[in-house]
A and B are shown apart, each in its own frame.
Chain A
Amino acid sequence: MELNWFKRNGIFFIPTSLAGWIILLAGVAYAVYTFIDIDSRSHSASDTLINFVFRLLIIIAVYSLVAYLTSRSSKK
C-alpha cells in the first residue's frame, strides 16, 4: 500500500493529507514543549539555544524519516 501523506519540496516534506498535517503539528507542538522545558532549566540564552537546536534537529530528522516512508516518490 502506498501512502500519500507528504510531498517532497526541496529538502522539506510538505503534508498533503490530514494525517500528514497531524504529524507536522505534533512535531511542532513537541518542539515548543522541548523549548519551554530546556528554557526552564538553562542558565543563559545561548545555553537554551545550543540545547534546543540539537533537539530540534532530531525532531526534524525523525519527521523527515516518517515523511519519507509515508510519501510518494517526487517523480510521480
Chain B
Amino acid sequence: MIMDSQNFEDRLRQVTKPEVKELKHQDMLADATAKGKDKSVVSWWWLIIPLYIILTLVMKSIYMPNTSFISNIQELTSKQKLTSSIFFLILPIIFILISFYNIRKIYFLSGNPKSVIFLKAVWLDILMILFSILILIIYVL
C-alpha cells in the first residue's frame, strides 16, 4: 500500500500541465497584421496614380515657362473633374479610413503594446495615411 502511494506520487510529479504555446488572440493578431499588409500593397498601387500625376505636374511647372504647380493642379481639377475627384479625394479618404481601422484593430488585439513593437506592425498604415493626407492637401490647394 505504501509502495502504491509512492508510485502514485512519483507519477503525479511527472505529470505536467498541458501548455498552450500560442494563444488565440496572438493568432488573430498575426492574421490581422498579414491582412493589413496585403491591403496596404493594394492601396499603394492605387496611391501611386495620383502621386504620378503630381510628379508630372511638378515636372511641367519646372520645364514649362509661366506655369506653377498650383495653377497646373487647378487646371487639372477644372478640366478633369471626375477623374481628379476620384484619385485625389475619394481614394485617399477610403485609404485613410481603411488604415485607421487596421491600426485600431491591431492596437486592440495586441493589448497595450509597447510603442516600438506597435509602430513596427503599423508603420505601413501610418505611411499610407501620411501620403493620403498629402494628396488631399494638394487637391484642396
Contact = CB atoms under 8 A, between A and B. Distances in A.
A75 B52 contact: no
A73 B35 contact: yes
A70 B18 CA distance: 39
A74 B36 CA distance: 10
A11 interface: yes
A61 B56 contact: no
Interface in B29-50: 30-31, 33-35, 37-39, 41-42, 44-46, 48-49
Nearest to A67: B42
A74 B34 contact: yes
Given A11-B41, A54-B53, A61 B48 contact: yes
Nearest to B91: A61
Give the interface size bracket for A toward B. Answer: 10 to 19
Contact of A57 (B31, B35, B41, B49): B49
A71 B37 CA distance: 13
A64 B42 CA distance: 6
Interface string B102-133: 00000000000000000000000000000000
Contact of B38 (A8, A54, A58): A8
B96 to A, nearest CB: 17
B45 A60 contact: yes
Nearest 8 CB-CB pairs, A to B?
A: A75-B34, A61-B45, A64-B45, A68-B42, A61-B46, A64-B42, A57-B49, A73-B34
Interface of A: 8, 10-11, 13, 50, 53-54, 57-58, 60-61, 64-65, 68, 71, 73-75
Interface of B: 30-31, 33-35, 37-39, 41-42, 44-46, 48-49, 52-53, 56
